[in-house]
Structure 1
């Protein structure tokens, strides 16, 4: 989630209230701010951008994007292309292909050379497709998924039970000591200690997802009576510091058919 995504204050489904007439807000928000972190982007084993002056662009319904001053980008590794795109809020974007370490990333880099009137501050800055870069670093730590939003928060606190999880009507987990993870813009997630889960019913899945704030999640399927409920739960075996208290705990997904989670009243 983000300042301008989902239920964030400038998002399309904001959950809070302002003390002014929100009609003065533009339906599509852009907010450009500096970050104090050193940010590096890698491709083909090379550092393509390295800056202590990078900025984050927050934009309605879009995850934050890092923009680098042109002076902090290795333009000797970039080749301009004829590809362009148009954004009604930012203007026309020009693109470059990256060639580094024997790897080629077509149209991987863009810049608004002549941005629209409402986005003049983007001039002289360059952005990269996050997921197509080889690696990203903030200071000396790798970041995953997308840039970390400074307005996003994860809190894990000990909850009061009971929490019961059933799959296709059979109890799979029961606990009086859940850990509750509160995350900006998302509903609370109840994580069950591994000792309170019937582990004999679980089967490791190959599914993995990445969260910039919690780490890499492993998934578990539930096998009951010859039937398998795929990816019914997930856990963080090696969580990032914000989510350290849910290490190896399991969270069951009510969005998976057959999974029901009974929470404290």
Structure 2
């Protein structure tokens, strides 16, 4: 017998939006002003975005800080109806918020967040933890597990890493990432870069690029020096993009996966993508 639907069941609107209530306490801050403070947010998935966004009941939003958008970005969100500029003090942020036309979400306001720096609020918090890039997806798992597998990494035939003490990171819908102790990586073959990215599941990453002549993308290697507690075992370890290097696990050469990152992993790319 199938379980009955619950209040947390995923719902679908005629416009193709998927949404569900969240029980997390979410706050958004601009400067020293709290613009959003909600214990009843909803998570919304747009058809063209792989990650969720939050929308909030109007009563939980400082609507007195919102102004009708001077130049509304129509068409940037699924069925978006009304855009707002955010005005805090002397600063005005264009198209910082919007509404969805769906009847289910008519009394909610969404804010820019996902990969749009400078277009939204300065900080977001779930409970007391700051969240970056986008909200965490409750239907996605990220697990880091110490292992004794024999993992080797080659670039253009050169062995650059060899370990029997990796940490394997399993993330829904992405290939396994192999995090390797620094002592087991030929870091002398790489150069640290100024590139950094944030991940809501793992934290802030730092990068290295290959110093050799191989035709590989920049920012090929990354590490989380201060990972979030949930993935603490990867602290300070190094990972390589499976899509761009050769990885051998227990003597078996792995096929290079095709992922959403593959298109941006090009030798001519000035910057690498956010790591997975």
CA offsets, 1:1-26, max 9 Å, x none? xxxxxxxxx9xxxxxxxxxxxxxx99
Corresponding residue for 1:263? 249
Corresponding residue for 1:197? 185
Contact 1:223 1:229 (8 Å CA) reproduced: no
CA apart distance, 1:42: 1.5
- Quick one: higher RCO (CA 8 Å, sep 6+), 1 or 2? 1
Among candidates 23, 27, 37, match of residue 36 of structure 1: 23
Corresponding residue for 2:195? 207
Contact 1:86 1:93 (8 Å CA) reproduced: no
Q: How does 1:117-132 map to 2 (within 5 A)?
A: 119-130=102-113, 131=116, 132=119
Q: Measured at CA, do residues 84 and 124 of structure 1 come closer, stay the same or move farther in structure 2, by a change above 3 Å?
A: farther
CA offsets, 1:173-216, max 9 Å, x none? 10111111000111111111111112222321111121110111
Corresponding residue for 2:131? 143
Please state whether the residue corresponding to 1:190 is helix, strand or coil: strand
CA offsets, 1:30-72, max 9 Å, x none? 3321111111112233111111111111233422111111111
RMSD: 2.7
Q: How does 1:219-230 map to 2 (within 5 A)?
A: 219-224=207-212, 230=218
- 2:74 pairs with 1:85: yes
Corresponding residue for 1:181? 169
Matched residues, number: 234
- 2:31 pairs with 1:48: no
Contact 2:205 2:222 (8 Å CA) reproduced: yes
Q: Measured at CA, do residues 55 and 224 of structure 1 come closer, stay the same or move farther in structure 2, by a change above 3 Å?
A: same
Corresponding residue for 2:93? 105
Q: TM-score if structure 1 supplies the norm length?
A: 0.79
Contact 1:221 1:230 (8 Å CA) reproduced: yes
Q: Measured at CA, do residues 239 and 60 of structure 1 come closer, stay the same or move farther in structure 2, by a change above 3 Å?
A: same
CA apart distance, 1:143: 0.2
Contact 2:155 2:214 (8 Å CA) reproduced: no
Contact 1:50 1:72 (8 Å CA) reproduced: yes
Please state whether the residue corresponding to 2:52 is helix, strand or coil: strand
Corresponding residue for 1:3? none
CA offsets, 1:204-229, max 9 Å, x none? 11111211101111111232489996
Which one has the bigger strand percentage? 1
Runs of 4+ in 1 over 6 A off after TM superposition: 25-28, 225-229
CA apart distance, 1:234: 0.7
Contact 1:84 1:93 (8 Å CA) reproduced: no
Structure 2: gaps spanning 5 or more residues: 1-9, 253-276
Q: Take 2:62 and 2:161, find their aligned partners in 1: how far apart are those partners? A: 53
